Amino acid sequence: MSTFTIFLALIVVVAFLLVVVIMVQNPKGGGLSSSFGGGGTQQLGGVKKTTDFLDKSTWTLATLMLVLILLSNVAINRGSGNAESKAIDEVNTEQPAVPTTTPAQTDNGGVANDSAK
* pTM of the complete model: 0.52
Neighbours of 83 (CB within 10 A): 6
Over residues 71-117, the pLDDT tens digits come to 999 888 664 555 566 666 665 666 666 667 666 655 566 565 556 55
User: Does residue 33 contact residue 48 with C-beta atoms inside 8 Å?
Assistant: yes
